[in-house]
Structure 1
């Protein structure tokens, strides 16, 4: 019990000393400088990043589905051209 009280007193004294020293002013200045620099860097929060990442994933899924749908429609409407494209891609893949 005595050691806990002693520890708390020492911690309080150290805190008071630091608060009254130039170190506290330096800390405040460094924090302000860092905040200013980060503001200039136009950073986004992690939450904003995660939201945009989810939007991008959904967009990619929709694009893939639309590409598949377009390929099917082209195959139905233009079977000769589609067969020629498939053959051409097959030849390019084997070269």
Structure 2
């Protein structure tokens, strides 16, 4: 994902491609390009890495709980089958 530093670097690269006569407008161009890219990126369906990692940890914990419950249900079913005989 693009970080704010990457956005600044990309905006600077874009401004550096301007002809020498337009260097006075480079700062304004850089700010506008950066704002435009940030606005477009907010429209995309991204989640921050921290949120992804947090949800992955929750999923792993949930999977472990489900596996333990499945083992417990299997043991109770086996016990019930033995008691019925």
Structure 1 equivalent of residue 31 of structure 2: 28
Q: 1:56-67 counterparts in 2 under 5 A?
A: 56-67=59-70
Counterpart CA distance in 1 for 2:55 and 2:69 is: 21
Unpaired runs of 5+ residues, structure 1, are: 1-16, 80-95
User: What is the aligned length?
Assistant: 61
* Poorly superposed stretches of 4+, deviation over 3 Å: none
Counterpart CA distance in 1 for 2:37 and 2:81 is: 61
Q: Which has the higher contact order (CA 8 A, sep 6+)?
A: 2
Counterpart CA distance in 2 for 1:37 and 1:70 is: 50
- Structure 1 length normalisation: TM-score? 0.54
Counterpart CA distance in 2 for 1:39 and 1:62 is: 35
Return the index of the structure with the highest Cα Rg: 1
Unpaired runs of 5+ residues, structure 2, are: 1-19
CA gap of 1:78–1:21, structure 2 versus 1, over 3 A, is farther
